[in-house]
A = this chain, B = another copy of it.
């Protein structure tokens, strides 16, 4: 029997950096472990189906109540994302964050995120940590992992749709895993977009080996000749970037993290991959069926959810959509021919946060980083 005392580690953003949170290449490897464990069922996420992305506080668009917080800016929400991850991790935890498009003007990031790790046996907190960098890096690591399995041998050109913070993280992962990348083409909201300029400077500063960095006028130009196309456009319906199959190079891999506007006809032509089929089934169930006045189904925009509807409508078979985990675990071949073009849907999952949090926590413990906090010497007997 322990004496009942509980201490836990606090890691602020500076501590997280010292603990290695920015190591994108290492994070790709850890995400590979996460996806492998997911494929084996060695995880739990929220809810009875164990696949919930999280639980959101959804702000209303209007309210009769004076001062009630409204959905009146981009991404305004709070989400709690709990998970358990097995294998060598064997740890529970959660990410909890609030977002508000107005934060930037106040000198804050749009989202402010914190993560907690907990002993899965007792529930005791192990670590409370700043999760902004953690979340960005693990998000960017996933396109890196997808590219590792689905890209053709040589990756020289990257096409970026939405050159914001997520794709800066994706670039860290791509560069860590594909040192031969020489060209990056990107398209932002406008050719003068500040985020595009920022991405250009970011690549110049961090990856001088990229000799050709182009800000393009439209999606067609940005994806032309790209080996990997990575979409992370922070926009909502009906502003999803339009993409046509014919614009893509044979053998390309298109990774969608937010939403794309692709016609059903075009969507059929792609080889289809998702990170977690069950999660998109849950989304489709929550969102329900929506049709245009002419009876055709509306795109969900989230590509994985589109795939679920395509199966439901009999356009494709369930087996036509590969699970990334089955490929990582060697149960399914990634690429069947050199010309097939992949459309890969990925979304954030709390098991990814828990895994990267766990790595940073252990690195911090090893290096003596952070502030140890006492919860109680002995729990108060109420």
Q: Which residues of A contact B (CB under 8 A)?
A: 1-4, 6, 10, 12-14, 17, 40-42, 44-48, 50, 52, 54-59, 63, 65, 67-69, 78-84, 86, 90, 92, 94, 96-100, 102-103, 105-109, 111-112, 114, 116, 118-125, 128, 130, 132-133, 136, 165, 168-169, 286, 371, 373-380, 382
Q: Does the CB pair B58–A108 fall under 8 Å?
A: no
By the criterion CB–CB under 8 Å, are B114 and A116 in contact?
yes
- Determine if B40 and A65 form an interchain contact, defined as CB atoms under 8 angstroms apart: yes
Question: Within 8 Å CB of A114, what residues of B?
Answer: 116, 125, 128
Stoichiometry (number of copies)? 2
B124–A108 contact, CB under 8 A? Answer: yes
Given contacts A47-B56, A80-B96, A107-B2, contact A12 B121 (CB under 8 A): no
Please determine whether A379 and B122 come into contact, CB atoms closer than 8 angstroms. no
Among B13, B65, B69, B96, point to the contact of A96 (Cβ < 8 A).
B96
Q: How far in angstroms is the closest Cβ of chain B from A114?
A: 6
Q: Are A69 and B4 neighbours in the complex by a CB distance under 8 Å?
A: no
B119 and A123 contacting across the interface, CB-CB below 8 Å: no
User: Do the beta carbons of A55 and B80 come within 8 Å of each other?
Assistant: yes
Indicate the member of A45, A57, A98, A373 with the most B CB atoms within 10 Å: A57
Q: Answer whether A96 and B97 are a contact pair too, CB < 8 Å, given A67-B86, A80-B80.
A: no
CB distance from A82 to the nearest CB of B (A): 5
* Residue contact B92 to A94, C-beta cutoff 8 Å: no
Please pick, from B13, B45, B55, B123, the residue contacting A375 in the complex, using a CB distance under 8 A.
B13
* Min distance, Cβ A46 to any Cβ of chain B, angstroms: 4
| Cross-chain contact B99 with A123 (CB below 8 angstroms) | yes
Known: A123-B98, A123-B111, A379-B13. A42 touches B65 (CB 8 A): yes
- Return the contact of A98 from the options B12, B68, B119, B165 (Cβ within 8 A): B119
Given contacts A44-B59, A96-B94, A106-B1, contact A133 B169 (CB under 8 A): no
In the assembled complex, the Cα of A108 lies from the Cα of B377 at a distance in Å of: 11
Contact A375 B130 (CB under 8 A): yes
